[in-house]
Structures are given as C-alpha cells and as structure tokens.
Amino acid sequence: MIKTLTRWVRRAASGPTPIPDALWRQTLRHYPFLRTLSAGEYARLKRLAEHFLDRKEFVGAHGLEVTDAMAVDVAAQACLPLLHLGPPDAPEEALRWYDDFVGIVMHPDAAVARRQRTDAAGVTHLYDEVLSGEAMHGGPVMLSWPAVQSAGGDPDASYSVVIHEFVHKMDMQGGSADGAPPLPRGFMGARNAREAAAHWLRTWAPAFERFREQVVMAERFGAPAPWLDAYGATAPAEFFAVACEAHFVQPERFAAEFPSLSAALREFFKQNRPLARA
C-alpha cells in the first residue's frame, strides 16, 4: 500500500522516470516491427512505456534478475497496441486497458503449468502444459524471457508473446477472454454496442472457422500449413490474440491475407485516425 501511494505521489509531482535514450534505442533496434514507426509514434510509444513501467512491477521467477533493459523490451511491445488509443495530450490514459493488474512475472525459460480437463464422458485428465506466456483474468501476466526476446526475429513468422498476452488483457476487459473485446463507440459505423458486436461476430467467426479448417487439413492430411500460428485454431480468444500479433509484427502480410480482419483491427486500435502530437 505504501509503495503504491509513493508511486502515485511521484507520478502526480513529476511524472514517471524517463527511459534513457540509449536504452530505448537498444530496444528499437532489437525488434524489427518497432523500427517502422514514425518519429511521432516513437515519441508517443516512449511516453506510454515510461508510464507503463511506473505502474507495473516486475518479478523474476526461479532466480531470474529482471534488468531495466528487459523491462523496457516488455513495455515497448505491451504499449504498441495502445499507441493510438489515448487522447492527444495524455496518451497514457490508454493504459486503463491494463488497470486490472500490476504484476508481471518473468521466467528464465518456458513455464510448465499443471492443467485439469474433464472430457465428454466425465473423466478428469491431468496434464502439463508448456507456456511461453499467460494472462490471468484479474491477475498478473507471465512471460518467458527467451520468448519475449524472439519477437519479430523470424521474417516468416508473426510472433510476439508480449502482444499476445496483453491483447488477451484487453479482451478480458469485457469479462472472460472470448475474442470479442469491448469495442469503441461507433465501431465500423455501428449505431450502438449491439450493432458493433454483431459486425465483429460476422467478421471474426467465419475467419476463425476457415482458419481452423486450414489447420486441421494441414495437421491431418498434409495440406499446406497456414501462415498464422496454428495455436490460434484452439479457441476464438487465441485466434484474436494470434491475429493481433500478426497485425503488429507483419501488418502488410496480415492485411494481404486477412483484409477484413486487418480493417477491423485498424478500426479497433484507432490506427485509421491521424496521430496527434503527444
């Protein structure tokens, strides 16, 4: 409680601690999809990342020491989806999307989670699931540091575990993650929330079913594998998160292969409006 109060007092008095320019440039150099931003977007993203770091607490698991550089790498990717969402004079207000948690737990490698599943016959199965990240509803975000570092490293992939888990957090603002996040007023010209939700469903549900069929054909019958991560076929929420990864990591290819989803995401993330000066 005292740490939280101190943080709020410091923020009100002088704002968050600036990210050193050398450290910021190091992060931008490492991730190719961050190097395509305009000068105004760089400045706005840096401001968002500074406020993000002021509001979140990093914890290293299994002896991992979380350095400033590691935290900045996470912050830059986590804030990328928020880049156009805040008001012109206070872009950090977009961080309200992440207000339901404080902690970010960093693992030195993939984490193993014990899972339980009950099948249609009522039999309970226990199994281990290997995770590179996980977003918990109302709780912390878990990230594997090697997975964080690998984002954008493969030119034929569209991977960012940070973007994946943080858009899950955005999805969860409407309740449990279901691939249908709360939509902005007037989304795609909708007159009300019900109309906006119906438009989202008409766009995403058929795309998910087509993608799931592609994955099944590839895995069972040797058809060409789809470009997107096959994990997106496991549930609509995962399809949304995987699509968002591709949208930010390889936007041109994503737009070419999924034009309707690209248009929906550009509208959702307000990328269609001119960027005002931060």
**How many domains is the chain partitioned into structurally?**
1
Could you tell me if residue 256 is inside a domain?
yes
CA within 13 Å, CB half, 89: 0
Could you tell me if residue 76 is inside a domain?
yes
Could you tell me if residue 223 is inside a domain?
yes
Could you tell me if residue 261 is inside a domain?
yes
Range 166-179 average pLDDT? 94
In contact, 204 and 179? CB cutoff 8 Å: yes
Q: What's the confidence (pLDDT) of residue 15?
A: 85
* Whether residue 277 has pLDDT greater than 70: no
Could you tell me if residue 278 is inside a domain?
no
Could you tell me if residue 186 is inside a domain?
yes
* pLDDT tens, residue by residue, 219-249: 999 999 999 999 999 999 999 999 999 999 9
Could you tell me if residue 6 is inside a domain?
yes
Full 3-state SS string of the chain: CHHHHHHHHHHHHHCCCCCCHHHHHHHHHHCHHHCCCCHHHHHHHHHHHHHHHHHCEEEECCCCCCCHHHHHHHHHHHHHHHCCCCCCCCHHHHHHHHCCCCEEEEECCCEEEEEEEECCCCCEEEEEEEECEEECCCCCEEEEHHHHHCCCCCCCCCCCHHHHHHHHHHHHHHCCCCCCCCCCCCHHHCCCHHHHHHHHHHHHHHHHHHHHHHHHHHHHHCCCCCCCCHHHHHCHHHHHHHHHHHHHHCHHHHHHHCHHHHHHHHHHCCCCCCCCCC
Q: What's the confidence (pLDDT) of residue 13?
A: 55
Q: What's the confidence (pLDDT) of residue 273?
A: 67
* pLDDT tens, residue by residue, 59-110: 999 999 999 999 999 999 999 999 999 998 899 999 999 999 999 999 998 7
Q: What's the confidence (pLDDT) of residue 129?
A: 62
State the CATH number of the domain containing residue 183: 1.10.472.150
Choose among 176, 173, 158: nearest CA to 242: 158
Least confident of 116-125, 160-169, 195-204: 116-125
Q: What's the confidence (pLDDT) of residue 131?
A: 76
Q: Which residues form the domain of 47?
A: 2-268
Could you tell me if residue 274 is inside a domain?
no
What average pLDDT does the chain have? Answer: 89
* pLDDT tens, residue by residue, 14-58: 689 999 999 999 999 999 999 999 999 999 999 999 999 999 999
Q: What's the confidence (pLDDT) of residue 3?
A: 46
* pLDDT tens, residue by residue, 177-194: 999 999 988 999 999 999
